[in-house]
């Protein structure tokens, strides 16, 4: 379902709106989604952007990292989410090695995602020279790009695991410079993941584009959470930064147990639920 189709629908959020939120001092709300149903539910809840994250490798496919996630998998899930999202800005993660092996390859991969998913923006991790060249190439043809700094999950092995980044002075300075480089390359926003709150606040003040934090404190221009985590569906994931707004894992288990008890006890289906 295209966000631009249909009469009488609310005005969709655009990249320009996203950037204007920072200028106006308005906090941005971003949530991940991986299918049409949850895409629709979060869209109807008024979020500013829906991110189809390569975190689907962890939370949907049960992988240990995002590295095995493929471009085809991202396109498949993004197309589903697109059918549910009408108003929020739809952003799709570019998975491992799709934007790190040359600007030309990055442009072709990003163009394919935009054509096949009807997304409005893409997210690319890191700020190496190769990634910056890719961001410049992709944005030069009119594809909006969100950057991603701090802990970058596609580099989990090089970073030595899931660790807070930027604790040392030199590392903090590098994050500020990387953010400026991403803005200069054309990025419209940057995710800041797992870094000290004071460092994230410095990065946020150093750029004119909005920053979206996850485990990066309150000084960012907005926040993003993985939907199954904030809903308490993924109850084995307990990082310090996560606030659960529901405990749906318990609800799901209780509901399925009750259904099983009714089936075994001959109480379901009853006359009310039979034709």
Residue pLDDT, tens place only, 12-43? 999 999 999 999 999 999 999 999 999 999 99
User: Tens digit of pLDDT for each residue in 147-185?
Assistant: 999 999 999 999 999 999 999 999 999 999 999 999 999
In a domain, 6, yes or no: no
Q: Are residues 109 and 149 in the same domain?
A: yes
Are residue 252 and residue 170 in the same domain, yes or no? no
Q: Work out the mean pLDDT of the chain and round it to a whole number.
A: 95
Confidence grade of residue 9 (pLDDT, cut at 50, 70, 90): low
Judged against a pLDDT cut of 70, whether residue 5 lies above it is answered with no
Distance (Å, whole) CA 169 – CA 20: 31
Q: What is the CATH number of the domain that holds 71?
A: 3.20.20.60
Does residue 86 lie in a domain region? yes
- C-alpha 261/C-alpha 16 separation (Å) is 53
- 202-212 average pLDDT score: 98
**Based on the domain organization, do 161 and 80 belong to the same domain?**
yes
Do 147 and 228 lie in one domain? The reply is yes
Phi-psi region of 152 (alpha: psi -120 to 50; beta: other; left: phi over 0): beta
1 falls within a domain: no
**258 is in which domain, residue-wise?**
248-275
Give the Cα separation of 241 and 175 in Å (integer): 20
Cα–Cα dist 233/230, whole Å:
8
Confidence of residue 10 (pLDDT cuts 50, 70, 90): confident
Q: Does any domain span residue 4?
A: no
Question: Catalytic residue numbers?
Answer: 193
261 and 126 inside one domain: no
- Say yes or no: 256 and 238 in one domain: no
Q: Is there a single domain that holds both residue 258 and residue 165?
A: no
**Tally of domains in the chain:** 2
How large is the average pLDDT for residues 44-67? Answer: 97
Buried b (16+ CB within 10 A) or exposed e, 215-240: bbbebbbbbbbbbbbbbbbbbeeeee
- Helix, strand, coil percentages (3-state) for the chain, rounded to 5, are 45, 15, 45
**Averaged over 52-76, what is the pLDDT?**
97
Rounded to two decimals, the pTM is 0.94
Whether 192 and 178 map to the same domain: the answer is: yes
Question: Which pair of tokens denotes residue 134?
Answer: 């890719």
* pLDDT score of 62 more than 80: yes
pLDDT of residue 270 exceeding 90, the answer is yes
Instruction: Give the position of tokens 């803005």.
Output: 183
Q: Is residue 157 part of a domain?
A: yes
User: pLDDT confidence of 8, banded at 50, 70, 90?
Assistant: low
């Amino acid at each position: 379902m295209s966000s631009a189709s249909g009469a009488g629908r609310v005005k969709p959020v655009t990249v320009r709106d996203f950037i204007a939120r920072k200028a106006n001092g308005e906090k941005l709300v971003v949530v991940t989604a991986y299918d049409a149903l949850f895409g629709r539910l979060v869209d109807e809840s008024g979020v500013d952007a829906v991110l189809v994250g390569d975190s689907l490798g962890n939370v949907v496919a049960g992988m240990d990292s995002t590295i095995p996630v493929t471009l085809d998998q991202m396109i498949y899930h993004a197309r589903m989410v697109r059918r549910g999202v009408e108003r929020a800005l739809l952003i799709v993660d570019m998975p491992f090695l799709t934007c790190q092996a040359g600007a030309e390859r990055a442009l072709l991969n990003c163009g394919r995602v935009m054509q096949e998913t009807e997304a409005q923006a893409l997210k690319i991790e890191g700020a190496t020279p190769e990634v910056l060249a890719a961001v410049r190439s992709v944005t030069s043809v009119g594809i909006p790009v969100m950057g991603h700094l701090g802990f970058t999950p596609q580099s989990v092995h090089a970073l030595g695991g899931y660790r807070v980044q930027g604790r040392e002075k030199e590392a903090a300075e590098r994050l500020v410079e990387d953010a400026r480089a991403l803005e200069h390359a054309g990025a419209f926003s940057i995710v800041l993941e797992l870094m000290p709150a004071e460092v994230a606040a410095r990065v946020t003040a150093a750029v004119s584009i909005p920053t979206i934090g996850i485990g990066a404190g309150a000084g960012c221009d907005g926040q993003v959470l993985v939907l199954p985590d904030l809903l308490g569906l993924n109850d084995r994931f307990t990082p310090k930064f996560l606030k659960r707004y529901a405990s749906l894992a318990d609800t799901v288990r209780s509901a399925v147990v009750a259904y099983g008890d009714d089936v075994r006890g001959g109480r379901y289906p009853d006359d009310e639920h039979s034709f």
